[in-house]
Amino acid sequence: MFQKIIGYGPSTVVPSVVSFLMIYAYTRLLTPGAFGEFSLVFSAVLTLQTSLFYALPVAVTRFYPEAVALGRRDQFLTECYSLFYALSLSVGLLIAVLAGVAGFSSPPRHSLVLWWLVIPLLVTRSAVALNQAVNRIDDRTWRYNLTECSHAILGLGLSLAFISLLGGTAKTVLLGQIAAAAVCACPNLPAMLSPLRLGVRATDHSSLGRLVRFSLPLIAVDVTVCLLAFSDRFLLGTLGGTQMLGIYAVAYNLVDRPTTLICTAVSTATFPLAVQALQHQGRDAGRIQAGKNGAVLLTLAIPACVGLALTSPYVAAVLVGPDFRAGVAALIPVMCVTALLRGLSVHFIDHAFHLAGSFRPALWVYGPAALAMIVLNALLIPRYGMFGAAWAGLICQAGSVAVGWVVGRRSFPIWLPPREVGKIIIAVVPMALALSAVAFPLNWSGLLQVVCTGAAVFAIGAALLDIGGLRSLGSTMVNSLQRQR
């Protein structure tokens, strides 16, 4: 399992590094207000992508092995891309109508142009995500890594190119992101054009119907998940202004990007293992594999979030522009706890609904949490500003984890090995004490020293406690190398 995760390492490490470089560049080339505008539009894209388009990649992961076994791989992919185009057309028309109504009812404004850019950015990013689901389930690790790394690097490079040509505005950053996603979707163009080829067999309507029935409940769940994840941005931009949103978004991105990539890398490598165990060996095997997946997730996510929370002054001093630093350093610790809970919820607890093949129970988890998120933000933002939004997110995310664990276990008996979880917590304590006790300079050298110190202390603790069999795995690798020699 760890070898699979290591195999997906480039798709985790490179985008994480690029995300920090983006913050470093954007907070120096854009004003807090311009970054707030970009964040508002990008949050809208992520909301639509996650709530409406995420179901198709999940469906690919769930049903692709069965389609391959039945000898209908190409037909299955044609059905998936057909649904993708139908959904893209529907959403694009809806956005165009809303933008047209807004433009007709009021004079054209700068912000209206930004909302028109939602359509191409949403479609191109969603196409890349669907292509990546195929690469992942096909176990084409090299192609998955190449696409993820190219997407991140091109997104930064092309955005900076547009900024240098057209100026530091939200529009120029969005244009660079659109161009990068379009380029990364091109290698899968033959499969994407399969619904238009005459040689492809007629679509199996029963299979297409199953995809739709599988996706609709998941879309309903994802809508509530997005309200829980992104409503703070929209309410903060409305009630607090784009400048406050810009600072909040920088802190959120510094925390969310690396933690999400870590969690995604783990679930990318491990969730198919649980699906295969369930399909080939039965429910008990799927349950055991799901528990191992959760332990691996916490092994990487807990030290990452704790370490980032304790190094927030160094991160803000080095990576963030002067206008953003104070607020970002104060927000990061709260957001790290929220990110850890969100990763546990989305990348482990929600797998109970995936493995059970039913997402309706998840509505009881995210529906009340999303409503509470909106209410708390409306109450706390006018009084506490961006800190009110951060605490509202933490409270609601903690509630969704607690409720999700209870509801999820009724759908599929997920579990966590208590011994492994205890080991992880024990290994994190020395790391936290070391980072709290030692002071480093607030510069690149200090940031490098504090990161290396935290990583080394946790690695020693993890090896001594043999978390996830790391010591055993290391001994096996050493013995294997010796035998080869």
Residues 212-252 have pLDDT tens digits of 777 777 777 777 777 777 788 878 877 777 788 888 988 98
**Does 107 score more than 50 pLDDT?**
no
| CA proximity to 245, closest of 24, 41, 383, 49 | 41
For residues 483 and 347, is the Cβ–Cβ distance under 8 A? no
Number of CB atoms found within 10 A of residue 269's CB:
23
The helix-helix angle for 242-281 and 283-310 (nearest 10°) equals 150
Question: Which residue type sits at 313?
Answer: P
Across the range 11-15, mean pLDDT stands at 79
Q: Where are the domains of the chain?
A: 2-416
Across the range 120-141, mean pLDDT stands at 83
Angle at 371 between CA 32 and CA 252, to 5 degrees: 25
- Angstrom distance (rounded) from CA 330 to CA 319: 14
**Does 474 score more than 50 pLDDT?**
yes
Token reading at 143: 């192609």
Find the range with the poorest average confidence among 81-95, 197-211, 269-283.
197-211
- Angstrom distance (rounded) from CA 364 to CA 359: 10
Q: What is the DSSP letter of 362?
A: G
**Does 38 score more than 50 pLDDT?**
yes
**Does 180 score more than 90 pLDDT?**
yes
Query: Given phi > 0 = left and psi -120 to 50 = alpha, else beta, which region is 358?
Result: beta
B/e letters for 101-139, b = 16+ CB within 10 Å, e = fewer, are eeeeeeeeeeeeebbbbbbbbbbbbbbbbbbbbbbbbee
| CA proximity to 239, closest of 134, 362, 378 | 378
- Angstrom distance (rounded) from CA 234 to CA 272: 34
**Does 105 score more than 50 pLDDT?**
no
**Does 99 score more than 60 pLDDT?**
yes
**Share of the chain residues as helix, strand and coil, in percent rounded to the nearest 5:** 90, 0, 10
**Does 83 score more than 80 pLDDT?**
yes
Question: Which residue type sits at 344?
Answer: L
Span 133-169, pLDDT tens digits: 887 777 778 888 888 899 999 999 999 999 999 888 8
- Angstrom distance (rounded) from CA 92 to CA 108: 20
Q: What is the DSSP letter of 339?
A: H
The helix-helix angle for 9-29 and 312-319 (nearest 10°) equals 60
- Angstrom distance (rounded) from CA 66 to CA 455: 41
Quote the percentage of the chain above a pLDDT of 90: 18
Which residue has 């959904």 as its token pair? 87
| pTM (predicted TM-score) | 0.70
The mean predicted confidence, pLDDT, of the chain is 82
For residues 48 and 122, is the Cβ–Cβ distance under 8 A? yes
* Torsion of Cα atoms, 83 then 92 then 370 then 392, to 10°: 130
Across the range 369-394, mean pLDDT stands at 90
For residues 316 and 371, is the Cβ–Cβ distance under 8 A? no
Q: What is the pLDDT of residue 336?
A: 94
| CA proximity to 240, closest of 121, 392, 104 | 392
Query: Given phi > 0 = left and psi -120 to 50 = alpha, else beta, which region is 211?
Result: alpha
Token reading at 280: 């080939």
| CA proximity to 253, closest of 54, 13, 22, 450 | 22
Which residue would you say has higher pLDDT here, 482 or 180?
180
**Does 203 score more than 60 pLDDT?**
no
Question: How many secondary structure helices (H) and strands (E) does the chain include?
Answer: 21, 0
